[in-house]
Chains A and B, each alone.
Chain A
Amino acid sequence: MDGIAISMNPGLPEAPTHSAVSALVRRAATGDRRAFEQIYRDHVGRIYGAILRLVGMDRARAEDLTQVAFVQAWQKLSSFRHESAFSTWLYRLGINTALMDLRSRRDHDALDPAQLESIDLGEVPFCAAERGDLERAVSALPPRARAVLVLHDIEGWKHEEISVELGMAVGSSKAQLHRARGLLRLALTAGT
């Protein structure tokens, strides 16, 4: 969120105020590269982090897509309406960039229906995992199922939003999530 200027932790740098962000965006929209570089520095962590999770922790691909997202953001700055939070607009643009890439690789996203149908979530007990193990297990999921799981369980999106962005029915999004969770839990319990 852009709008909070009060820092609860004096040890951390203050988040820029809404008006400061808005001024920065307006400057960048007129061609001020320094302003846009500041925007990049303020937001790259969030954008890169989300893209990185969507592309299965492939750092080189995430770096390429992050660059594409910021170039697109620069080109579309004039279309940004200042009624909404800029960080949300930019974040959605970054996610869309990763999902466009995912859609273009649809041929490589063949799910094995037999494998997915055989998963029974109720039989998989909780298994605590280290962050690294969890990231590896998420990365190993089929791309489309991974995208749904990352967007829903990690990024906090709703199925309605996911279905629109991924061009699938809400029911398909729910089914993909169910299957992704099952595969993930099986992978983690198998690894213990």
Chain B
Amino acid sequence: MTGPNMNDEIRWRSQLRQLNGPVQPARDLWPQIDPRLQTPRRRVRIASMAVAASLAIVCVASLLLLRARSHQSDRGSAPAAVVAIARNVQTAPGSHTALVWALPKNPTLAAAAHDLDDASTQLQHALQQHPDAVFLVGLLNRTNAQRMRLLREPFTG
């Protein structure tokens, strides 16, 4: 770039730099911001309640499903999955981390069940680290729902 052009370039750029700097909004925005702030404790409580509620739904649904199946089969001992879930519900009420699912007999499904259990554990851990991440609750619900579907395999297989 030659002398005059270079000078022009510098003047153009320095002119744009004038636009830098703070600008106060015409009105105070705080009254609109304040009501949208959730306190951290409230966020934790909401997330914890959501997890607890979702897991309670999974447990109740599993028990109902398995009870219906046991009625259909007249006599005989309760399936292992029923025992496993019932034991969990009885011994660890409200504790989602203690939930242990029965493994399907089919080796392929058992491997998938292991993967889902690992995913569920990791999601619960992530949720503890980021209690305001609502999408984690959704993922956890989906993971547990898939895991519950695998439970049906021992009775149908």
Contacts and interface: CB of A to CB of B under 8 A. Distances in A.
B20 A67 contact: no
Given A59-B25, A67-B29, A70-B33, A131 B12 contact: no
B23 to A, nearest CB: 4
Q: Could you say which interface size class chain A belongs to?
A: 35 or more
B41 interface: yes
Contacts of A53: 19
B23 A129 contact: no
Interface in A48-67: 48-49, 52-53, 59, 62-63, 66-67
A135 B21 CA distance: 13
Contacts of B41: 31
B25 A138 contact: no
A40 interface: yes
A94 B30 CA distance: 15
A154 B38 CA distance: 35
Contacts of B29: 40, 44, 48, 63, 66-67, 70
Given A46-B22, A49-B22, A49-B23, A126 B12 contact: yes
Interface in B58-101: none
Contact of B7 (A29, A52, A62, A126): A126
25 contacts: A33-B37, A37-B30, A37-B34, A40-B29, A44-B25, A45-B23, A45-B24, A48-B24, A52-B23, A59-B25, A63-B25, A66-B25, A67-B29, A67-B33, A71-B33, A71-B37, A75-B38, A75-B132, A126-B7, A128-B15, A135-B19, A153-B13, A154-B17, A154-B19, A181-B12
